[in-house]
């Protein structure tokens, strides 16, 4: 039995000059593994001078979840040393370094059968109860903790 002919309207669109290509149902696009992504982004860090490409590679590396040996195999940590002095990338480089520390800590604890000590990756938050400095300014602020407005002389009020 011969396959049914496909109507012309499905194969071509009147809005474009290019005929619509019918996707093959069996054909699938190959997905990248995490190791391939780490290798790709590490290579970008090694070769690229484009600020946007480097920033994107650092962001993607921070988002990947894979074991530390994958990062070590691709020498990602070595590639990060190139960007340590770069102010624009410093924040992302620090995030990646903390991620590597956490992965190492996790692997070491798994070796010895202990629970993984969790390293929080969140930023330092401002705590109004504790101020970082114990200088003169802090002492003055503690003395005058409550704000009392200065009374205004009557001739300025209208």
Written as tens digits, the pLDDT of the chain (158 aa) is 666 666 555 555 455 555 556 666 676 778 888 999 999 999 999 999 899 999 999 999 999 999 999 999 999 999 999 888 888 888 999 999 999 999 999 988 888 776 544 545 455 555 555 555 555 555 666 676 677 777 777 665 55
DSSP 128: T
What are the E-state strand segments in 19-130? none
Please report where in the chains the tokens 């929080």 appear, as a residue. 120
User: What pLDDT, on the 0 to 100 scale, is given for residue 36?
Assistant: 93
Closest to 88 in 3D by CA, of 43, 55, 113, 119: 55
3-state secondary structure of 72: helix
Specify the pLDDT at position 105. Answer: 92
pTM attached to this predicted model: 0.54
Closest CA to 74 of 34, 36, 39: 39
pLDDT in the model for residue 112 = 79
pLDDT of residue 116: 44
**Cα–Cα separations (whole angstroms), residue 58 to 45, 48, 55, 78:** 8, 12, 5, 13
Cα separation, 14 vs 8, whole angstroms:
11
CB atoms within 10 A of CB 74: 22
The pLDDT value recorded for residue 110 is 84
């Amino acid at each position: 039995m011969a396959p049914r002919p496909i109507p012309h309207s499905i194969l071509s669109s009147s809005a474009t000059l290019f005929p619509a290509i019918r996707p093959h149902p069996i054909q699938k696009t190959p997905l990248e593994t995490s190791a391939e992504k780490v290798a790709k982004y590490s290579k970008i860090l090694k070769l690229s001078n484009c600020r946007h490409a480097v920033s994107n590679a650092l962001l993607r590396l921070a988002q990947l979840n894979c074991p530390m040996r994958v990062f070590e195999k691709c020498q990602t940590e070595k590639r990060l040393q190139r960007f340590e002095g770069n102010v624009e990338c410093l924040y992302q480089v620090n995030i990646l370094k903390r991620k590597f520390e956490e992965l190492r800590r996790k692997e070491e604890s798994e070796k010895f059968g202990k629970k993984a000590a969790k390293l929080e990756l969140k930023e330092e938050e401002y705590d109004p109860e504790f101020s970082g400095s114990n200088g003169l300014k802090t002492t003055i602020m503690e003395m005058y903790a409550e704000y009392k407005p200065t009374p205004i002389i009557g001739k300025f009020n209208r």
